[in-house]
C-alpha cells in the first residue's frame, strides 16, 4: 500500500512561504510521492525558494487558471504518468505528520467495503473559528451535525472539499477532470456530484483531520462575520448559476447552493471592501444569468 504512487498538487498564488515549506516537508515524508507546485501568480511575482529535487516540480502557469485549472493540469499529468492517486492541496492548508501515508492506507481499507470508491477526503477545522467558538463548542457541534443531516436530505452527502482530496486516478477516465470554467468556487462540489452520478463512491474521514482556513473572518466584540474577498463573490455567485443548470444533479441541493450564495450578498455592507464586493457580486450575478464562463478580469 505504501508503494502506491501519488501526485500531490499544491496550488500557489503569492503564498506564505513558511506554510508551503511545511506542506512540502510533510508531503515529502511519503517516498512514492511527486509534488507538483502549480504557481498561478503573475510572471513578475517573487518565486518561492526551496530545495529542488526529483520529487518536486515547479510549474509556472502562463496565466492564472485558478484552482480548477491547476487541478485539471494535475489530473492530466497523473494519468499520463500512470500514477495511482492525485492529491489536491491548497497553499494555506496545514497537515498532520504522516498524513499521506494514513490517507493511502485508509483508501485501500475502505475500498474493500466500497468497490467503486473514487475519492476520500479528511475532515477539517478552521483554527480562527475554533478559537472564537471555544466556549460554545457543544452548540457548534450541534449545528454541524444538523448541517450534515440537511445535506443528506438534499442529496449531497459525502461531498468533500478539494484540499486534502485523494482521488484514484483510474476513476478519472469515467468521471473526468475538474471543470476549468469553474475557476475557484464549487469546483470540488461539482466534481463530487459528477462522480456520484456515475455511481462512484466518495467518503469523508472524520478521524483524519487537517487545518484549513476557509474564506475571511472579521471579528468584533459580539460577532464573528465570515466573508469572502471581492473576486470570490464573483465566482461563488456566478458558479452557483452554472451548477444550478447542471440538471442531472439533485435539484434541491442545486437550489440550496444558489440561494445560500445569493444570501451572502447581505453581508456586503459590513465588509472591509463593500463597493468592490458589491460590484464583483453584481458581475457574478449578471454573468451567471447569462451563462458566461470566462474568467473575472
Q: Rounded to two decimals, what is the model's pTM?
A: 0.90
H or E element, residue 7: strand 6-12
- pLDDT over threshold 80, residue 158: no
**What percent of the chain is modeled with pLDDT above 70?**
84
What rounded mean pLDDT belongs to the chain?
Answer: 88
DSSP letter assigned to residue 127: H
List Cβ neighbours of 239 (8 Å cut-off, separation of 6 or more).
182, 183, 185, 186, 288
Domain match, 45 and 121 both:
yes
pLDDT in tens, 59-69: 999 999 999 99
Provide the residue range defining the domain that includes 163: 6-214
Look at phi and psi of residue 282 and say left if phi exceeds 0, alpha if psi is from -120 to 50, else beta.
alpha
State the pLDDT confidence band at 134, using cuts at 50, 70 and 90: very low
Please indicate, yes or no, whether residues 251 and 277 belong to a single structural domain of this protein.
Answer: yes
User: CA–CA separation, 108 vs 68, rounded Å?
Assistant: 26
The domain boundary residue, chosen from 214, 235, 261: 214
Q: Examine the pLDDT at 19 and tell me if it is beyond 50.
A: yes
Which of 179, 214, 249 is the C-terminal boundary of a domain? 214
Report the CATH number at residue 155. 3.90.550.60
The rounded distance, in Å, linking the Cα atoms of 217 and 277 is 15
Note whether residue 296 is domain-resident. Answer: no
Q: Say if residue 51 is in the same domain as residue 70.
A: yes
**Whole-number pLDDT of residue 156:** 63
Number of domains in the chain: 2
Are 128 and 227 in the same domain? no
In eight-state DSSP terms, residue 165 is -
- Residues 68 and 169 reside in one and the same domain: yes
In a domain, 38, yes or no: yes
Q: What percent of the chain has pLDDT over 90?
A: 71
Q: How far apart are CA 288 and CA 236, in angstroms?
A: 10
Q: What is the pLDDT of residues 175-191, one digit of tens each?
A: 999 999 999 999 999 99
CA distance 60 to 43: 8
pLDDT digits (tens, 9 = 90+) for 22-52: 999 999 999 999 999 999 987 666 666 666 6
pLDDT tens-digit readout, 194-246: 999 999 999 999 999 999 888 888 777 667 788 899 999 999 999 999 999 99
Rounded to whole angstroms, the Cα distance separating 118 from 111 reads: 9
229 and 120 both lie in a single domain: no
Cell numbers given for 60: 509556472
Report the SS3 class of residue 92: coil
Amino acid at each position: 500500500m505504501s508503494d502506491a504512487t501519488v501526485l500531490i498538487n499544491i496550488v500557489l498564488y503569492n503564498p506564505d512561504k513558511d506554510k508551503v515549506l511545511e506542506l512540502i516537508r510533510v508531503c515529502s515524508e511519503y517516498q512514492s510521492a511527486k509534488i507538483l507546485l502549480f504557481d498561478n501568480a503573475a510572471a513578475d511575482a517573487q518565486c518561492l525558494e526551496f530545495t529542488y529535487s526529483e520529487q518536486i516540480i515547479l510549474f509556472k502557469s502562463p496565466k492564472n487558471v485558478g484552482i480548477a485549472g491547476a487541478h485539471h493540469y494535475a489530473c492530466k499529468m497523473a494519468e499520463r504518468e500512470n500514477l495511482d492517486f492525485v492529491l489536491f492541496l491548497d497553499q494555506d492548508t496545514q497537515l498532520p505528520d504522516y498524513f499521506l501515508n494514513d490517507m493511502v492506507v485508509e483508501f485501500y481499507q475502505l475500498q474493500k467495503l466500497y468497490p467503486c470508491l473514487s475519492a476520500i477526503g479528511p475532515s477539517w477545522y478552521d483554527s480562527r473559528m475554533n478559537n472564537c467558538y471555544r466556549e460554545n463548542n457543544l452548540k457548534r457541534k450541534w449545528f454541524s451535525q444538523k448541517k450534515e443531516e440537511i445535506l443528506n436530505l438534499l442529496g449531497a452527502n459525502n461531498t468533500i472539499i478539494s484540499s486534502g482530496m485523494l482521488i484514484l486516478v483510474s476513476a478519472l477516465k469515467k468521471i473526468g477532470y475538474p471543470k476549468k470554467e469553474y475557476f475557484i468556487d464549487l469546483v470540488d462540489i461539482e466534481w463530487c456530484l459528477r462522480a456520484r452520478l456515475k455511481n462512484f463512491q466518495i467518503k469523508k474521514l472524520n478521524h483524519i483531520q487537517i487545518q484549513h482556513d476557509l474564506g475571511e473572518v472579521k471579528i468584533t466584540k459580539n460577532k464573528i462575520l465570515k466573508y469572502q474577498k471581492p473576486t470570490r463573490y464573483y465566482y461563488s455567485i456566478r458558479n452557483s448559476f452554472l451548477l444550478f443548470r447542471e440538471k442531472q444533479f439533485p435539484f434541491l441541493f442545486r437550489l440550496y447552493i444558489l440561494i445560500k450564495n445569493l444570501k451572502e450578498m447581505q453581508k456586503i455592507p459590513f465588509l472591509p471592501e463593500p463597493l468592490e464586493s458589491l460590484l464583483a457580486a453584481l458581475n457574478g450575478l449578471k454573468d451567471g444569468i447569462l451563462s458566461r464562463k470566462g474568467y473575472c478580469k
